[in-house]
Amino acid sequence: MKKYDKIADDLKRRINSGEFKENNKLPTGNELMLEYNASKNTITSAINLLINDGILFAIHGSGFYIRKPNKGTIKLNNTSGFYVDHPGQKLERTILDFQLINCDEELAKLMECEENTPIYYIKRLMYIDDIPFAVEYTYYNKNIIPYLSEDIAKKSIFSFITDDLKLNIGFSEKYISTKPLSQEDLVLLQLEPGAFGLIIDDNVFLSNGKKFNYSKIWYNYKYANFFNNDKSIRNKK
């Protein structure tokens, strides 16, 4: 892990602990440089990671401030996994299925790999503060992610990938839709008959461009909110 990644992670920890809640503002760049014994470029890179994650926003001439997303908010540009979106909340996962399979033609297209590639298939029910929040159907290419277990899947697979496997997650592509839930998922999410689910098809790639994960996540429409940090908006004359 690079130094700016470590600094970004430490700043996330400090933000989540409420250290800066008095004015919701980070120390200045010069103060952070001294505190972390880091160059200006390193601090800038760390801050940019937090801005990209929707954790901070900048006010020109004033500094960097902490966003206050709504409870249950899903950051569409997040590539760090479920735990990062929900600091300070009780998070649990129930493993409903865990298999090592060989992908067929259809799955090979989704995973952008050869047919018969070994794939970890995991189905999980995710809870936030004891509320059934989402059902996740997820696939990992075993040729890229050589080892997974149910114990890892109960925690954070993405943390295992970055911290233990030392792989760099680069970017994700998300597609949002809505469809009626299956009877099984209605029961799991404790929703009324005929309810629709908010769906994200999530494709995640390493920094070298290799796709290692595809997930279809059905969210409980009563609790899920989606957030995107759009930095490309410009004033029009």
**Mean model confidence pLDDT for the chain:** 87
pLDDT over 60 (residue 207): yes
pTM of the model: 0.72
What are the two backbone dihedrals, phi and then psi, of residue 42, each rounded to the nearest 5 degrees?
-65, -45
Residues 53 and 137 in one domain: no
Q: Could you tell me if 48 and 82 lie in one domain?
A: no
Q: 105 and 22, same structural domain?
A: no
Same domain flag for 130 and 217: yes
At residue 234 the predicted structure's pLDDT band, cuts being 50, 70 and 90, is: very low
Residue 197 sits in the same domain as residue 177: yes
What is the reported pLDDT for 182? 94
**48-61 tens-digit pLDDT:** 888 877 788 888 88
What is the extent of the structural domain holding 97?
73-227
**pLDDT recorded at residue 88:** 53
CATH number, residue 139: 3.40.1410.10
Predicted pLDDT at 80: 56
| Residues 33 and 85 grouped into a single domain | no
pLDDT digits (tens, 9 = 90+) for 140-162: 999 999 999 999 999 889 989 98
Same domain for 58 and 97: no
Q: State whether 96 and 213 are in the same domain.
A: yes
Q: How many domains does the chain have?
A: 2
Checking if the pLDDT of 202 tops 90, the result is: yes
pLDDT at 236 exceeding the cut of 60? no
**CATH number for the domain including 37?**
1.10.10.10
Average pLDDT for residues 185-202, to the nearest whole number? 93
Q: Name which residue leads in pLDDT, 3 or 72.
A: 3
User: Could you tell me if residue 236 is inside a domain?
Assistant: no
**Inside any domain, residue 91:** yes
Query: Furthest-apart CA pair in the chain: how many Å?
Result: 58
pLDDT of residue 209: 93
Cα distance from N-terminal residue to C-terminal residue, the chain = 43
pLDDT at res. 76 = 65
| Residue 201 belongs to some domain of the structure | yes
The dihedrals phi and psi of 170, each to the nearest 5 degrees, come to -95, -60
Q: Within this chain, do residues 80 and 47 fall inside the same structural domain, yes or no?
A: no
pLDDT at 228 over 90: no
> Facing residues of 225 across strands?
73
- One domain, residues 32 and 148: no
CB contact at 8 A, 138 and 213:
yes
- According to the 3-state scheme, what is the secondary structure of the chain? CCHHHHHHHHHHHHHHCCCCCCCCECCCHHHHHHHHCCCHHHHHHHHHHHHHCCCEEEECCCEEEECCCCCCEEECCCCCCHHHHCCCCCEEEEEEEEEEEECCHHHHHHHCCCCCCEEEEEEEEEEECCEEEEEEEEEEECCCCCCCCHHHHCCCHHHHHHHHCCCCEEEEEEEEEEEECCHHHHHHCCCCCCCEEEEEEEEEEECCCCEEEEEEEEECCCCCEEECCCCCCCCCC
Query: 197 or 1: which carries more pLDDT confidence?
Result: 197
* Best CA proximity match to 214, nearest among 104, 112, 78: 112
pLDDT at 129 over 90: no
In a domain, 235, yes or no: no
Q: Given 66, 92, 121, which residue is the final one in a domain?
A: 66
Quote the pLDDT of residue 137: 97
Calculate mean pLDDT across residues 28-46.
Answer: 94
Closest CA to 128 of 157, 97, 172, 94: 94
Residues 96 and 165 in one domain: yes
Q: Tell me how long the chain is.
A: 237
Residue 232 lies in a domain: no
Q: Do 14 and 83 sit in the same domain of this protein?
A: no
